[in-house]
Amino acid sequence: MVKKYPNKNFRVLKGGVEGKGSKLNYKKWIFYLIIGVLAFFIVGHMANNLRDYITAKLLEIEVVEIKSMDQGIWGIGFYLREEKVLKGISKSQLSLPPNTRVRKGQNLFGDYVAPIAGLIVYNIDGYESFEFNNQNVLSVFKDIEQNYKEVAQGNEGVKIVNNYQTDIIVKIERKYGELLHGLSRVRVRLGNEEISQILFVDIKGMEQQSDYYLIHLFSDELKDDFLALRFSDVFFILDTITGIPLPQSAIVTKEGKTGVYVLQRNRVVFWEIAKIKEENGKIWVVGLRDNQQVILNPQIVNEGQWIKF
């Protein structure tokens, strides 16, 4: 038997109360259950990611790539070109942009004609009339030996520079001079952080001094940017090695074979390699492929171990 009450939201039944309150409790528990399941999976996923992150950090897993490294000799280069200072002419009078090409005999200002063909440069550094002989060259290197990188361009002026032909006098340590004997051409990297170029140059001569060599190079392929340089580093490229640089700690020995541990389908696998060069604390090796996952801290893993990365 059902008794009705003014409150339309409830009915009194035998065995309990039925109404909106019971329906709300049911929905609330369903909601909490869904939230709990979602939270469980989210926390589990985050925990797995955290575990994988910590594992990767401990193992120091690196995705490697094949690189190249040039080997050779460093020296200090002094650039000499045919240059003529235009005396009595200022930049404002000439009104030509820097590096404007002029021909020999071209009228520049009034009755002033270009004494040589080349590019207009608005800077005088004091070496324009440099006489090319061994004594002068030696004095230049003596003066700039400690601070040649800081030798600044000098006073404002106007000159024409023959940019087609450049002599480069390079000073190198005596113990390296014999490596260049018998060569007529050599590949070099010239310049600094702002201006650089790799090219083949001719070796015109070599002269041995007490503790160093002077190497006379020649090029007709230098970029016009080098007109801004009088001195720069010169690197003679004698060899190029190709491989992958790894820390010594990553390399292991197994049954007399040299190798590293890599991850292959999430398993730790021994991978045989060959050492080719030690340079700047790194061991250059061959035998690995691009994008292989190399374990740099192999002391804490075992071959065959499963690791998610």
Separation between Cα atoms, residue 255 and residue 269, nearest integer Å: 14
Burial, 273: exposed, middle or buried (Cβ in 10 Å; 0-12, 13-18, 19+)?
Answer: buried
CA 100, 104, 105: angle at the middle one, nearest 5? 110
At 228 the three-state DSSP class reads helix
At 248 the three-state DSSP class reads helix
For the chain, 309 residues long, give each residue's pLDDT as a single digit of tens: 455 555 555 555 555 545 444 555 777 777 667 777 777 767 665 655 655 666 656 667 878 888 988 889 999 898 989 999 988 888 888 888 888 999 999 988 878 888 999 999 988 888 887 776 656 676 677 655 544 444 444 557 889 999 889 999 999 998 898 899 889 999 999 998 888 999 999 999 888 878 888 899 999 999 998 888 888 999 999 999 899 999 998 999 999 999 999 988 888 899 999 999 888 888 999 999 989 999 888 887 788 877 765
Read off the pLDDT of residues 244-258 as tens digits, 9 standing for 90 and up.
999 998 999 999 999
Separation between Cα atoms, residue 268 and residue 274, nearest integer Å: 19
pLDDT of res. 205: 87
Pick from 37, 66, 84, 89: which is nearest to 285 by CA?
66
pLDDT of res. 261: 93
- Name the residue type at position 298: P
pTM assigned to the model: 0.69
Q: Are 231 and 79 in contact (CB under 8 A)?
A: yes
Read off the pLDDT of residues 151-171 as tens digits, 9 standing for 90 and up.
444 557 889 999 889 999 999
Q: Measured between alpha carbons, how far is residue 72 from residues 116, 130, 225, 241, 277 in Å?
A: 37, 30, 24, 11, 14
pLDDT of res. 284: 93
Q: Are 186 and 201 in contact (CB under 8 A)?
A: yes
> H helices of the chain, where?
20-59, 91-94, 134-144, 174-177
Helix (H) or strand (E) holding 215: strand 212-219
**Residue 211 CA neighbour count, 13 Å, CB half:** 1
Cβ neighbour number for residue 59 with a 10 Å cutoff = 23
